[in-house]
Chain A
Amino acid sequence: MSDAGVALSLSGVSKRFGGLVAVDGVTIDFASRRLNAIIGPNGAGKTTLFNLISGEIPADAGRMRFRDSDILGLAPHEVVRRGISRTLQIKSVFGGLTVTDNVRCAVLVHERVMAPLRPVSSFRAAAARADALIDEVGLSAHRHRLASTLSYGDVALLELALALAAEPRLLLLDEPVCGMGPQETERTVDKIREISRRVDVILIEHDMEVVFDIADFIMVMAQGAILATGAASEIAAHPKVQEAYLGSPEDD
């Protein structure tokens, strides 16, 4: 990680829902050019942390530095424009639109095109980029299908294409292989690994096999706070982590 720099720097980031401290003073630098993973038991605050970063819920306290600017307090669409894209735990695309229109929409928005009196189809460069993204995630065969008719794994891939359309410098993946079969998981893991060579990635994942397989760096959360950080091997051997995972019956 030496000279690669920092992908995202959080300091003292906190969020409270009534009496529940969902995220409790999280301070960490996620390094660039490294596949970062966040793990932790259910309710540890992982997704809430993502929601804070993506601007979907306002943080109560803390700072978030991304590429020399403070992104805390920005609206979600502004965070995307700064270069942070994310996927959601429950995969989320534009169901009533075709795969092509889904991705074209994301590409045209990224290019800040509104052009209210020109048909979408006349934007050749954007169409070509959308096609390339569809090819990249392996959905070429389903181009003309409505997104709502895709299998769950394909929806996840489409969502990934939507996230990549914004040419992010940081990609947040919330349980990218959740609900996938073994084959889809393998395909998606390969894709994530490939993407992480050019885009900084932070992912939340419950599938420990996947996490320990691909993550260079792991941050463990429990009850909103950081429990441990380190390389996969260190984390696996960490007594607190074992306690958090094995010691409480609600975890898998």
Chain B
Amino acid sequence: MTVARVRAAALAILLVALVAVPWALPALGATFWVNIVAEILIWSLLAASANLLFGFVGLLSFGQALFFGFGMYGVALSIEAWGFGFWPALATGVLAASAMALVTGVMAVRLTWHYFAIITVVFSLIFYFAAMSMKWLTGGDDGISFSPPSVFALGGHTLSLGDATVQYYVILAIVSACFAATALVVSSPLGLRFKAVRENDRRAALVGINVYATRLIAFVLAGALAGASGALFAFFGRYASASYMFYHVSGEAVVWAIIGGSGTILGPLFGTGLLIVFRELVSTVWEHYLLAVGAITILVVMFAPRGLAGAWNGLVAGLLDRGAEEPRRAAIPEES
């Protein structure tokens, strides 16, 4: 067996498991957990957004919640104000987030490292306070509620988010499409430019890469991912609230991405899954459960610096490639 085959098999198992969730969990008497898995899927896109920037382009953003918020309000306002259907509202959310990422990115990606991290926090704080105070538009902390339009309506049949199973599959389909698109981009020549900029921006410029434009493209794509996450979360919760634009939310996404494995495709999903499950199990019995999250983060960074996905890739490569002629390039988490 080759590393590629093990990975393909693991991916297939993961997909089958995710598809089986709406039947399997209720059968096990855990109907409540279907929505938790849906929530994990949604939040994993925000983690994927932070990961696209940090893991693939080398930019640490603590401001992705800003675009999550724009995704939420894009959906909520377009449904409330213009009576948009499901798909146009989703597109509006993603586009609003991408446009915002373009506007802020033009300034932010001129900076790198801590300067970049700081400016992303600053942008998200500015818009957080703006959204909080513009109650007439955003509803502030209370947010605005809406009733979601049907996903499909054909003849007499409608698919509605009111059905938990339909809602789960709609979320799974959109999240899967986003991860597949990310995987495509990352393995394309554009993705190679991302990694070149991450590895060595000086050399990247000297082979002819426009480093600024490359970072800006990544920033907008990451904004779109965060926007998709926020848009889905708005549909899921039937409301949008400015409180989700706070930078704590961005920070959580960064932690999920790092624990899951930055620089991998599916790492953010694993990190988000682990920590949300942990939260659901522990937060009810221990209010200071975040202390444990901090400890987990420190342990992962110390003992599995490439996160869960990186550790898994290393394990697979180590078991299968031992003694093989090929050096251990598979230890670098590109896929999985």
Contacts and interface: CB of A to CB of B under 8 A. Distances in A.
B208 A96 contact: no
A104 B195 CA distance: 12
Contacts of B326: 144
B16 interface: no
Nearest to B208: A80
Nearest to A81: B208
A161 to B, nearest CB: 10
B208 A166 contact: yes
Interface string A141-158: 000111001000000000
A93 B203 contact: yes
Interface in B99-154: none
Of the candidates A54, A119, A165, the one having the most CB atoms from chain B within 10 angstroms of its own CB is: A119
Contacts of A113: 189
Nearest to A92: B203
A244 to B, nearest CB: 30
B209 A109 contact: yes
The bracket for how many chain A residues form the interface is 35 or more
B203 A104 contact: no
Interface stretch (B165-173, B180-188, B275-283): B180-188
Chain B binding surface, main DSSP class: helix
A99 to B, nearest CB: 10
A101 B204 CA distance: 13
Contact of A146 (B184, B202, B329): B329
A76 interface: yes
A86 B196 CA distance: 17
A13 interface: no
B210 interface: yes
B187 A144 contact: no
Interface string A108-147: 1110011111111101000000000000000000001110
B184 A117 contact: yes
Contacts of B187: 119-121
B199 A97 contact: yes
Nearest to A96: B199
A141 B29 CA distance: 57
A92 B201 CA distance: 10
B207 A162 contact: yes
The bracket for how many chain B residues form the interface is 20 to 34
Nearest to B212: A75
A101 B192 contact: yes
Contacts of B209: 77, 109
Contacts of A85: 206-207
A118 B189 CA distance: 7
Nearest to B210: A77
A38 interface: no
Contacts of B191: 116, 120
Interface in B156-175: none
A97 B188 contact: no
B190 interface: yes
B17 interface: no
Given A96-B199, A109-B208, A117 B185 contact: yes
Interface in A37-70: 54, 56
A77 B202 CA distance: 10
Interface in B30-58: none
Contacts of B211: 77
Interface string B306-336: 0000000000000000000011010010000
Contacts of B189: 105, 108-109, 113-116, 118, 120, 123
Contacts of B176: none
A94 interface: yes
Nearest to B187: A119
Nearest to A109: B208
Contacts of A97: 192, 195-196, 199
A106 interface: yes
B196 A144 contact: no
A90 to B, nearest CB: 10
A105 B329 contact: no
A96 B198 contact: yes
B193 interface: yes
B53 to A, nearest CB: 16
Interface of B: 181, 184-185, 187-193, 195-196, 198-200, 202-211, 326-327, 329, 332
14 contacts: A77-B208, A77-B210, A81-B208, A86-B206, A98-B329, A106-B208, A114-B188, A116-B185, A117-B185, A119-B187, A120-B187, A120-B188, A144-B326, A162-B207
Given A97-B199, A98-B329, 5 more contacts: A76-B205, A88-B202, A101-B195, A120-B192, A144-B326
7 residue pairs, one from A and one from B, having the closest CB atoms: A94-B199, A80-B208, A76-B205, A106-B207, A116-B190, A108-B189, A92-B203
Interface of A: 54, 56, 75-77, 80-81, 85-86, 88, 92-98, 101, 104-106, 108-110, 113-121, 123, 144-146, 149, 159, 162-163, 165-166
